Structure 1
Amino acid sequence: MKKLFAGFALSMSLFCSISVGSAFAETPLSSAVNAGLGAPYKYAGTTLKGFDCSGYTAWVFNKLGVALPHTSKGQAHEGVWVDKENLRPGDLVFFDTSGGAGISHVGVFVGDGKFYHSADQGVTISKLSESYYAKRYVTARRVLSDDQYDQFMTDTK
C-alpha cells in the first residue's frame, strides 16, 4: 500500500518532494513549483491568474528569493550552462518552439526526466523525452548555487 500511495503521489505532482524511504517530504523548491500547477496560460502572465512560460519560472524562483528576467531568452543567460545529462531539480530547460527562432520556451526541471512549465494548457508537467520537446530542446541553465540547492531541497517539516 505504501508503494502504491508513493507512486500515486509521485505521478500527481512528481516533484512534490525528495524521496525519504517510501515516503515523500515537501521541500521549498517542490512547494514553489507545485504552487502554480494547474494555473491557466496567459500571455505575459506572471500570477496565479495566468502565466506565460517565463512568467511562471520567474514566479517560482521569486518565491525562493531568486530574481529572473521575464523572457525565456533573458533567463537563458542566467546562471551557468549545464549538460542535459547532469540536470538536477531546479535547473531551467529551454526549447525552440518557434521553428528556428532560437529560445522561445522555458520550464523548471524537476527530476526523473520531467519539467514544469506553462504552455497552452496552463502550468503542467511534461517529459523531456516527449517527441515535441525532445526535438526542440536547446539548452539548460543552473541558476541555483550548490548552497541554494541544498537549502531549497531540504524537507520543510
Structure 2
Amino acid sequence: MLLERLSASSDFNDQQYLVEHAPSDRNVLVAAGAGTGKTFSMVSRVAFLCSKKADAVAHLEEEIAMVTFTNDAVNNMKSRLKQMFVNYFILTNQPRYLKFVEDVDRAHISTIHRFALEILRSAPLYTGLGTNFRIGSNEYLRGKLYDAYLGGFSCARRAGKSQFYA
C-alpha cells in the first residue's frame, strides 16, 4: 500500500520495484512496451541479486540470463550493468563488484535468437543438429526445408501414424 502511494505521488515505480526485489528463487519475465523501463528493471534486478547477503549470485556468467530482441539493447544492458557494478564498488569498496564487471561480458546477455542458438549448440546430441549448423535466412531455402521435413510429418499425421520427423 505504501509503495502504491509513493508511486502515485512521485517518479517511483512500484512495478519496477517489485520486479527488482522479487524473491531470489523465482525467475522474472519483464514484458512491457518501449520506453517503460524494462532495461532499468532488469539491470536493477541483477544488481539486487548480486548484492543480497543470503543467496547472492556468486558467478554471474553461470547464474544469470538476460534476453532481449536487439543487439543495441544487449549492449545497453551490458553497459548499464557494468556501470552499476562500478558504482557499487565505489560505494562499498568490495572487490566482488569488480569481478562482476569482468563477468558481464561472459554472462548470458543476448538476443532471443542468440540465446536459442546457444541452447541448440550446447545440446547437439539431443537436437541432432550437431554443432556446426547454420541458421538460414533465405526464404526459398527455408521453404524447401519446411516442405522436406514438415511435409513428411503432415503426411504421416494424415495416415494416422504418430511418429514425428525432425
User: Greater relative contact order (Cα 8 A, min sep 6): structure 1 or 2?
Assistant: 1
Report TM bin, short chain. under 0.3
**Greater per-residue helix proportion:** 2
Q: TM-score, normalised by structure 1?
A: 0.24
Q: Mark the structure with the bigger radius of gyration.
A: 2
